[in-house]
């Protein structure tokens, strides 16, 4: 792990361990430099990382301060996406469908592949702490996600892609809508037709810019509480 990431982790763990409240001032840069035996720029980079994670804020001429924490029961939604920030929640999945197929025009467009190329199609229900969280339909570029099965799809597919396939997940584009549930969705989510849903279309890219996953997710509105922190641009 990189030095600045390591330092960021240690500072984060320190904040969490000591349960520091909002507004607590952290040691000044100079102190952090000697504490972690590193240069100023590396400390700054670590702090910038923590600032973008929403853990601290920095005030020029004043100091570095601890930022407010999440409300309980809210899913933290960083600019990393949902999936990794689910610590503290019990996430499981039930696979409804899993097959290899040819993509529709829309899917092919979003994955930047030809309509003759193969994709893995996965339809599943995801649970959070035993409650139905969402209904997900995902299309994976088979050239990148070379293999999938039921067992893998029952767990975290992204963990599998990162760890087993060794691919590096980069960024994503999300298109968010508020809509009413249709019949199929309502039955899977255990809700009524016309009930609210959060509907999100996402294209996930590897860190080299290749799209590997196009997904459509309908969230159960009863479980949909998200915590989101903005940071401003001047980092």
d(CA 9, CA 231) in angstroms, rounded, equals 19
Q: Compare residues 98 and 210 and give the one whose CB is closer to a copy of itself.
A: 210
If contact means CB under 5 to 8 A according to the sort of partner, which of a copy of itself, DNA, none does residue 42 touch?
DNA
Q: Compare residues 36 and 221 and give the one whose CB is closer to a copy of itself.
A: 221
Going by C-alpha positions, the residue among 172, 156, 169, 159 that lies closest to residue 215 is 172
Q: Compare residues 38 and 154 and give the one whose CB is closer to a copy of itself.
A: 38
If contact means CB under 5 to 8 A according to the sort of partner, which of DNA, a copy of itself, none does residue 47 touch?
DNA
d(CA 15, CA 9) in angstroms, rounded, equals 10
Query: Nearest approach, Cβ of 5 to a copy of itself (angstroms)?
Result: 8
**Distances 190 to 30, 80, 90, 118, 132 between C-alpha atoms, Å:** 56, 29, 19, 32, 8
DSSP letters, 123-153, are: EEEEEETTEEEEEEEEEEETTTS----HHHH
Query: Nearest approach, Cβ of 47 to DNA (angstroms)?
Result: 6
Instruction: Please give the residue ranges that form the binding site for a copy of itself (CB under 8 A).
Output: 5, 22-23, 49, 52-54, 57, 59, 62, 65, 67-68, 71, 74, 77-81, 169-180, 194-198, 203, 205, 207-209, 219, 221, 224-235
If contact means CB under 5 to 8 A according to the sort of partner, which of DNA, a copy of itself, none does residue 172 touch?
a copy of itself
Angle at 230 between CA 228 and CA 232, to 5 degrees: 175
If contact means CB under 5 to 8 A according to the sort of partner, which of DNA, a copy of itself, none does residue 38 touch?
DNA
Q: Compare residues 87 and 234 and give the one whose CB is closer to DNA.
A: 234
SS3 (DSSP) at 191 = coil
């Amino acid at each position: 792990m990189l030095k600045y990431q390591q330092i960021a982790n240690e500072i984060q763990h320190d904040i969490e361990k000591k349960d520091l409240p909002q507004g607590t001032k952290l040691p000044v840069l100079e102190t952090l430099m000697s504490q972690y035996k590193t240069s100023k720029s590396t400390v700054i980079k670590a702090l910038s990382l923590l600032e973008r994670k929403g853990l601290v804020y920095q005030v020029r001429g004043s100091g570095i301060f601890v930022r407010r924490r999440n409300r309980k029961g809210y899913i933290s939604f960083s600019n990393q996406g949902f999936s990794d920030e689910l610590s503290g929640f019990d996430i499981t999945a039930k696979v409804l469908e899993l097959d290899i197929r040819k993509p529709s025009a829309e899917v092919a467009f979003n994955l930047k592949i030809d309509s003759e190329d193969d994709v893995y199609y996965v339809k599943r229900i995801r649970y959070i702490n035993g409650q139905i969280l969402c209904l997900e339909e995902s299309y994976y570029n088979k050239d990148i996600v070379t293999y999938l099965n039921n067992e893998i799809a029952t767990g975290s597919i992204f963990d599998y892609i990162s760890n087993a396939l060794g691919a590096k997940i980069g960024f994503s584009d999300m298109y968010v809508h508020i809509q009413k549930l249709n019949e199929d969705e309502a039955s899977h989510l255990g809700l009524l037709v016309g009930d609210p849903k959060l509907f999100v279309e996402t294209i996930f890219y590897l860190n080299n810019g290749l799209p590997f996953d196009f997904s459509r997710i309908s969230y159960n509105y009863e479980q949909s509480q998200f915590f989101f922190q903005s940071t401003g641009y001047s980092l």
